[in-house]
Amino acid sequence: MGAGDLVPGQLLPPMRELAARLGVNPNTVAAAYRILRERGVIETAGRRGSRVRPKPATTGREHIRVEVPEGVRDVSSGNPDTALLPSVAKAFAAAAEQSDREPVLYGDAELEPELARRARAELAADGVPEGPLAVLSGSLDAIERVLAAHLKPGDTVAVEDPGWGSLLDLVPALGLRAAPVGVDDDGPRPDDVRRALEAGARVLIVTGRAQNPTGAAVSATRARALRSVLRAHPQTLLIEDDHGHGIVDVPLHPLAGVTRHWAFVRSVAKAYGPDLRLAVLTGDPVTVDRVRGRQRLGPGWVSRIVQRAVVRLWADGALDTTAVAAAYRERRTLLIDALAGHGIEAHGRTGMNVWVPVPDETGAVARLLHAGWAVAPGARFRIAAPPAVRITVSTLTARDAESLAAAVAAATGPTPARRYG
């Protein structure tokens, strides 16, 4: 494989067949396949066998995208509407002035006190248990550090399927195994979670709201069912991602505190701007202490100027979260209703994306591109889930929704209602 004799996408021989060909024990081949899978070199799809990955896991799924020619409308990016983001100029100017008066030096506290106070109050209001705080450079940075703090290569992580493409690549890049857990509009399916944990998964990662790509949000009923499953597996490391805070209008139903080790991550990227690169992490004392310790040996801390700017944005009420959530809800509803008018199933309870199951993903993406719409291939977000496309509704108007729905209908035809995870 290292010599380049095997090409991306090539099907590998069954393990027993290869063992017989090489004259070695089948367990040796199984171990080799396992190592290659853990390192993101190959991918396995059950009875369909193992194949060489198009690219190593460390390159990310971002390459599974379409090039957007001039004149084609891009609804694939997953980006927020820039018109709904607050201006950060005054906040950074105020933060810079504060840093001139109160410079941060080596050995000073990594956490801005006022940011900690405000973050802790909002977390408590949403029912997240009391715990120490840390500030990381975004949700993925926080999740990576939590995983590294508890796991060793070869451990299994239960992940949502469909789920966040960057996370699906992070897991094998860390030498970990991904156990896909089906998702519906109310979040991860309890039976799937139970099976994954009983099969040995040490971690469960859950998106509370605005799940990417499906828009799922964990309901109160689903949260009770998931807590029941987790109580039977108290050693599970639970990680919750609340990147949708500030852009959704449904309540949070946290699971944190049910297990011995837990982490809850809240990013400001979607609501205040991706370039801020800031997420607040809370969790059990052991987990947060390990994350902080490892952070000190790397970047040290997230810039206190950035932290102070975020505090100023919060203090000034720079974002009307109710209006932002309503805007994204209206745009999702417009597209989902327009698709329903064409007999097309779609999902999107919260957030800025709509997930549309399709019978032929590659064909649908190509035909929509030809019709003037660039959508995200579902392959970026799934392991075993059926084909689909993700549409970002951030900047859609009512006229856009009707036009796009007609294009989707022409590209795919009606699809029967079914599980999408």
Residue-wise pLDDT for 284-325, tens only, equals 999 999 999 999 999 999 999 999 999 999 999 999 999 999
Pair 97, 193 in one domain:
yes
pLDDT for res 208: 97
Residue-wise pLDDT for 15-43, tens only, equals 888 888 888 888 887 878 777 766 667 77
**Residues 394, 331: contact at Cβ < 8 Å?**
yes
Q: Which helix (H) or strand (E) holds 357?
A: strand 353-357
Task: Report how far residue 403's alpha carbon sits from residue 330's, in angstroms, rounded to the nearest whole number.
Answer: 16
Phi and psi, residue 236, nearest 5°: -65, 135
Average the pLDDT over each of 56-60, 113-117, 358-362 and give the range with the smallest value: 56-60
Pair 327, 276 in one domain:
no
**Residues 256, 113: contact at Cβ < 8 Å?**
no
Q: What is the mean pLDDT of the chain?
A: 92
Round the CA-based radius of gyration of the chain to a whole number and report it: 22
Is residue 59 assigned to a domain? no
- DSSP codes, 205-268: EEE-SS-TTT-----HHHHHHHHHHHHT-TTPEEEEE-TTTTT--S-----TTSSSEEEEEEES
Of 56 and 65, the structure prediction assigns the larger pLDDT to 65
In angstroms, the first-to-last Cα distance of the chain is 32
Pair 178, 244 in one domain:
yes
pLDDT for res 419: 57
Enclosing domain of residue 263: 90-315
Is residue 419 assigned to a domain? no
Task: Report how far residue 104's alpha carbon sits from residue 299's, in angstroms, rounded to the nearest whole number.
Answer: 15
Closest CA to 82 of 348, 400, 311, 394: 394
Pair 261, 180 in one domain:
yes
Q: How much is the pTM?
A: 0.86
Average the pLDDT over each of 26-35, 117-126, 205-214 and give the range with the smallest value: 26-35
Pair 123, 251 in one domain:
yes
pLDDT for res 364: 95
Encoding tokens for residue 23? 């004259």
Task: Report how far residue 206's alpha carbon sits from residue 7's, in angstroms, rounded to the nearest whole number.
Answer: 35
Pair 251, 375 in one domain:
no
Average the pLDDT over each of 8-12, 145-149, 167-171, 268-272 and give the range with the smallest value: 8-12
pLDDT for res 264: 98
Q: Helices marked H in 57-158 — which ranges?
A: 89-101, 113-125, 139-150
Task: Report how far residue 272's alpha carbon sits from residue 411's, in angstroms, rounded to the nearest whole number.
Answer: 35
CATH number at residue 151: 3.40.640.10
pLDDT for res 46: 58
Encoding tokens for residue 222? 């689903």
Query: Cα angle at 138 between 128 and 238, to 5 degrees?
Result: 40
Place of tokens 């997230």: 302
Encoding tokens for residue 19? 């063992």
Pair 311, 325 in one domain:
no
Place of tokens 């995200």: 376
Type of residue at 316: D
Type of residue at 226: L
172-192: average pLDDT: 96
Encoding tokens for residue 319? 């974002």
Is residue 164 assigned to a domain? yes
pLDDT for res 172: 93
Is residue 133 assigned to a domain? yes
CATH number at residue 21: 1.10.10.10
